[in-house]
Structure 1
Amino acid sequence: MTDNILISCAPASGEEIWRGPISDVDTAVSAARRAWAAWAALPLTSRIGMMRDFSNGVRRDADTLADLIAREVGKPLWEARAEVDAVVNKIDISVQAYAERTGKKKFDAGINGSAALRHKPHGVMAVLGPFNFPAHLPNGHILPALLAGNAVLFKPSEKAPAVGEALVAAFHRAGVPEAVIQCIIGGPEEGKALVAHPGIDGVLFTGSANAGIAINRKLAANPGKIVALEMGGNNPIVVIDTPKLADAAALIVQSAFATAGQRCTSARRLIVKESIYDDLMAEVVPLARKLMVGDPLGEPQPFMGPVIDNETADRLSESFLALLTAGGRVLLHMRRTVPDLPFLSPGIIDVTDVADRPDIELFGPILQVIRVPDLDTAIAEANNTRFGLSASLIGGSPDDYGLFWANIRAGIINWNSPTNGASSKAPFGGIGLSGNHRPAAYYAADYCAYPVASAEVDQPRASIMVGLRP
């Protein structure tokens, strides 16, 4: 950011791909406040129609948007295309969720008429998006919020403004008024201004735990503002007895290294039963070593692109070295594969003998391995975190999974599946430092409108039966 201009550079090359002026938050909020009531007054069918037009427009321009995602955040093109597909598919899921979670209901109250349940939009919502899924994750807030009748001020990550601008332009082309959905360009200061602004009725955030905690603290004395926090995790993947070690290895590698480890649901800790440790690592390490790291637009397509920037790559390299210095045993060195660019190869380190293992989210391709004697110990180790987003058990019996499910502290608990790749047809969220009990995805409808209970009688009928003087 320089001279009130934000510049976005491709992590894979360092080349500038976008620049634009910093937004004026006060002006944007004022425009949204003037516009949102008319938007909320539209028939729901009209809003649904525009959201469908948005989805169809994204589908028509899918290649262009996928290319932009790949260039701006370094995501391989195959993965960027999958993200665009998720944006397209979100409309049907959101319409169904709106009807199921916030639809109208009437109850017969006999002689007292009827009771009704309806939902109202909050007003003007701030959506603060991340860089790792710069279209899909904010769209998971924006689309339900617009359907419910809210106006939206979307501040994309300062590392992905071009994708954010393109997403908002697609809503405008679909007929959503420009003041109803706006793209707020800026960095942390603009995000803070949105959060604190008295004209904002809700904050929908996806990002780091530190930023989410700061938002929560800022708004703690303002209960009138709805706040949904979707944060990260120090996610465990636990492996116990299984004859399918090659399959287990594939699930582990997918969990740890998809999107260069830059998913909130990425596996950070591999907790493995001691008796299968050697055989399992004999599958995991060679498979991770084979992963191609390269240009997101290159051919053949790599499994991983770069991490988001050089500062992040430096910080991850320092973290890997710190784990090694503290007593970790390297199973696969994480290396900088291109000088002066943030390409990192997968790193795997056994931290069983590291005392006071840091409970932090290392947002990149680092997998920490911990050996344990049995499932009970594995569960205790998996829960040894302040986070609670995603956890997965590989191997074992249905009874083992039942024990795992009942005792793991997480909002997403899987069996013989990766920790990442959650379905948009289910709620998505965590506990502890991973969220504030307002899950997104299918349950996003819950925080985009508030319930209103009504008692309704067509004519006033009442009398006071007791306590009157004669």
Structure 2
Amino acid sequence: MSVLRSFDPATGDLVWEGEAAGADAVSAALLRARRAFPGWAALPLEARVAVVERYRAALETRKEPMAQMIARETGKPLWEARGEVASMIGKVGLSIAAQAERAGEKRSDMPFGQAVLRHRPHGVMAVLGPFNFPGHLPNGHIVPALLAGNTVVFKPSEMTPATGAAMAECWEEALGDRPGVFQCIQGARATGEALVAGAIDGLLFTGSAGAGTHFRRIFADRPDVILALELGGNNPLVAWDAAEVEEAAAVVVQSAFITTGQRCSCARRLIVPDSAFGTALVEAVAALAGRVTIGAWDETPEPWIGPLISEAAADGARARVDALVARGARTIKPFSAVEGRSAAFVTPAVLDVTGLFVPDEEIFAPVLQVSRVPDFDAALDAANNTRFGLSAGLLSADDALWDRFLRECRAGVVNRNRPTTGAAGSMPFGGLGESGNHRPSAYYAADYCAYPVASFEAPDAAGNGAALAGKLRP
């Protein structure tokens, strides 16, 4: 038996322990999901809506214990974990609305019949969850997938199995006696590989661009499997002007360092004019980053950020920073350990990489790279100089610059005078290039959870003979 464990990154204390599913257990789960699919898909939509609403109610009754579990297992502060649970609860209503709007039924009269648009579920969906938002992000796949009539086999990140297990309890309560409709299997890479290689009809994945590239390759010969990839980004934030430098610095710090830099939409690159404003902004960002409170999830007063997910993650980020410094990056604010804390705790870093060739990589940590450019043309070129395309932002009061940035910047989420991490659940969320595969999630998850079926139909065959009248040989 393979044992899986998760730990509080702030203390190293054990959070969860359980058995990792082997290949046979994964196959059995997929078989149960396959057998459950016809009955679940045949239910009226109203019945599936009732189930997800019971799931929402189960989350409501458990929201504080769920938030504490997420905070403890990820290290994120309790205020942020509570926000994550609130997003999970809110996702239900948004998904019901999206299902009706984007995957509902439409009819229009035509000569001799009706044109009817319907949507049908794919079948068995595999959902692989990330560690940074272990509840909210997989929830955004699971809820719309079940609403559409699919069955789901969910593997949480091996770093956050306790959160996945808590979600499974809520679904068990909501589903009642409907075995196989939703299943949670625990495990690390081998478990995920067995799930992906199994008899699935869709893979809904949130995670790294490297993993996304791997999935693109292995599913190239499986066109029957719907693939929805929500990946990372080397996101640019162009800070061009602001009436108040401190306000602009606050946007930058929130963009780059929230969740200890462990959001796929965090700003990784700050692009500023090579001017007095650019210099003043960078100095203000570094000063504000130095005042950020760092601590464990349950400390009072609550910190703004916690540790990285693990000591290994901190070591990996530190190696990336060291490599940038070796290339000539100038350290404005160092990437340091936090004295008296576990090695997973780090401080936000700011590096000036102006004029350097640096790898187009996502450093999943609080590391911001500054580039100074001579004009806005160069700023746009720098922003688009990436193989990713998830989020981007512009800090400017100039409407003309915003219009141009919005038109020319290649990203799926483009914000103005707000953090790059800001996104509404009532809108799509996703990117292009190495950031996704043009199947955005959030409100548009309904699109990849069902396929459209177009029909031309009539109650009987009357009238078809008239279409041939005069065109047949006697």
AA matched with 2:351: I
The within-5 A match list for 1:209-358 is 209-275=209-275, 276-337=277-338, 338=340, 340-354=342-356, 356-358=357-359
AA matched with 1:349: L
What corresponds to 2:412 in structure 1?
Answer: 411
What corresponds to 2:150 in structure 1?
Answer: 150
TM norm structure 1: 0.97
User: Could you tell me how far apart the structure 2 residues matched to 1:278 and 1:222 are?
Assistant: 51
In the TM superposition, residue 282 of structure 1 has moved relative to its aligned partner by 2.6
In the TM superposition, residue 419 of structure 1 has moved relative to its aligned partner by 0.4
What corresponds to 2:4 in structure 1?
Answer: 6
Deviations 1:133-178 (A, max 9, x none): 0000000000000000110001100101110111111011112534
- 8 Å Cα contact 2:11/2:342 also seen in 1: no
Q: Which stretch of structure 1 is more off in the superposition, 80-89 or 336-345?
A: 336-345
User: Could you tell me how far apart the structure 1 residues matched to 2:208 and 2:96 are?
Assistant: 29
Tell me: CA distance 1:466–1:204, structure 2 relative to 1, closer, same or farther (3 Å). Answer: farther
What corresponds to 2:117 in structure 1?
Answer: 117
Equivalent pairs counted in the alignment come to: 465
In the TM superposition, residue 340 of structure 1 has moved relative to its aligned partner by 4.6
In the TM superposition, residue 305 of structure 1 has moved relative to its aligned partner by 0.5
In the TM superposition, residue 59 of structure 1 has moved relative to its aligned partner by 1.2
- 8 Å Cα contact 2:36/2:179 also seen in 1: no
AA matched with 1:201: D
Q: Which runs of 4+ in 1 moved over 2 A?
A: 175-178, 338-341, 463-470
In the TM superposition, residue 339 of structure 1 has moved relative to its aligned partner by 5.5
AA matched with 2:67: A
TM norm structure 2: 0.96
What corresponds to 1:372 in structure 2?
Answer: 373
In the TM superposition, residue 385 of structure 1 has moved relative to its aligned partner by 0.3
Q: Name the SS for the 1:368 alignment partner.
A: strand
User: Could you tell me how far apart the structure 2 residues matched to 1:421 and 1:380 are?
Assistant: 23
AA matched with 1:451: P
Deviations 1:76-122 (A, max 9, x none): 10000000000011111001100100110011012x21110100111
User: Could you tell me how far apart the structure 1 residues matched to 2:234 and 2:348 are?
Assistant: 17
The root-mean-square deviation of aligned C-alpha atoms, in Å, is 1.1
What corresponds to 1:448 in structure 2?
Answer: 449
What corresponds to 1:42 in structure 2?
Answer: 43
Q: Which stretch of structure 1 is more off in the superposition, 185-194 or 384-393?
A: 185-194
The within-5 A match list for 1:365-404 is 365-404=366-405
AA matched with 2:388: F
Q: Does residue 188 of structure 2 align to residue 190 of structure 1?
A: no
AA matched with 2:14: E
In the TM superposition, residue 457 of structure 1 has moved relative to its aligned partner by 0.8
Unaligned runs of 5+ in 2: none
User: Could you tell me how far apart the structure 1 residues matched to 2:202 and 2:318 are?
Assistant: 37
Q: Which stretch of structure 1 is more off in the superposition, 47-56 or 441-450?
A: 47-56
User: Could you tell me how far apart the structure 2 residues matched to 1:31 and 1:466 are?
Assistant: 56
In the TM superposition, residue 466 of structure 1 has moved relative to its aligned partner by 6.2
- 8 Å Cα contact 1:251/1:417 also seen in 2: yes
In the TM superposition, residue 57 of structure 1 has moved relative to its aligned partner by 1.4
In the TM superposition, residue 396 of structure 1 has moved relative to its aligned partner by 3.8
Q: Percent identity?
A: 49
User: Could you tell me how far apart the structure 1 residues matched to 2:179 and 2:284 are?
Assistant: 53
Deviations 1:221-279 (A, max 9, x none): 11111000000000001011221211110000000000000000000000011111221
Q: Name the SS for the 1:174 alignment partner.
A: helix
